[in-house]
Chains A and B, each alone.
Chain A
Amino acid sequence: MILVAALALILSMALVLARALRGPTRYDRILAANILGTKTALLIAVYGFLDGRPDFLDIALAYALINFTGVVAVLKYASLRRSGRRDGPGEA
């Protein structure tokens, strides 16, 4: 069952990756990156159970922290243009 959970997580990560590649606005991509990070932390935890190594839970906890901090940092940056002015939601 844990193997099924790991495979299902990987499949859902592929679906979210499709949104990360397609998403017309940059906020779609940042959202997809956030969701991918959360799923990665879960996948690390599940894999730790698969392999019988409980130390992986520490790595999952650390990655959840990194993911959250990274997403908030990118959001601060995301609404600025290269010149430092705010720009619209459009491309990339």
Chain B
Amino acid sequence: MLETLAGALLGIGILFTWAGAIGLLRFPDFHTRLHAAGVTETLGMGAIVAGLMLHAGLGQAALKLLLLGLFLFVTAPIASHALAAAARHGGLRPRAEEAGPSPKR
């Protein structure tokens, strides 16, 4: 029972990871690709780590997996933000701004 749940979580994680990879290839602009890759990678990673945790059962391996999952969960949005900020500083404009500039804050 626990094994089928672990397998299902792994399957969901694989689907989200593939969706992110395909989105990374197909989206038209850097900022859209950033969004696709960041969101789906976090979700797919969470599902895969949860599936592996269920497979491992209670113990040290599950604790290490939890730490890995929490670390990636926290740092993936930070890396996405750093990428977007660096692209902004570098002058890369989002395609949506071709219609007109964003309002200044």
Using CB atoms and an 8 Å cutoff, list the residues of chain A in contact with chain B: 1-2, 4-5, 8-9, 11-13, 15-16, 18-19, 23, 25, 27-28, 30-32, 34-35, 38-39, 41-42, 45-46, 49, 54, 57-58, 60-61, 64-65, 68, 71-72, 75-76, 78-79, 86-89
Instruction: Note all chain A residues with C-beta closer than 8 A to B25.
Output: 15, 18-19
| B104: Cβ under 8 A from any A Cβ | no
Question: If A60-B68, A64-B71 touch, does A32 touch B56 (CB 8 Å cutoff)?
Answer: no
Interface of A is mostly: helix
Q: Could you pull out 7 A-B pairs where Cβ atoms are within 8 angstroms?
A: A12-B20, A15-B24, A38-B41, A38-B72, A45-B49, A68-B79, A75-B83
Check if B79 sits within 8 Å of A58, measured CB to CB. Answer: no
Check if B33 sits within 8 Å of A28, measured CB to CB. Answer: yes
A46–B51 CA distance with the chains assembled, in angstroms: 10
Bitwise interface map of B from 62 to 105 toward A, beta carbon under 8 Å scored 1, else 0? 00110110011001101100110011011110000000000000
Give the nearest-CB partner of B24 in chain A.
Answer: A19
Interface of B is mostly: helix
Check if B87 sits within 8 Å of A89, measured CB to CB. Answer: yes
Check if A45 sits within 8 Å of B52, measured CB to CB. Answer: yes
Number of A-B contacts (CB under 8 A): 136
Instruction: Note all chain B residues with C-beta closer than 8 A to A78.
Output: 86, 90
Residues of B in contact with A, size category: 35 or more
| B48: Cβ under 8 A from any A Cβ | yes
Check if B72 sits within 8 Å of A88, measured CB to CB. Answer: no
> Which residue in A23, A46, A54 is a CB contact (below 8 Å) of B48?
A46
Check if B64 sits within 8 Å of A61, measured CB to CB. Answer: yes
| Given A5-B10, A75-B86, A87-B90: 7 more A-B contacts, CB < 8 Å | A4-B10, A19-B33, A46-B48, A54-B61, A64-B75, A79-B86, A89-B91
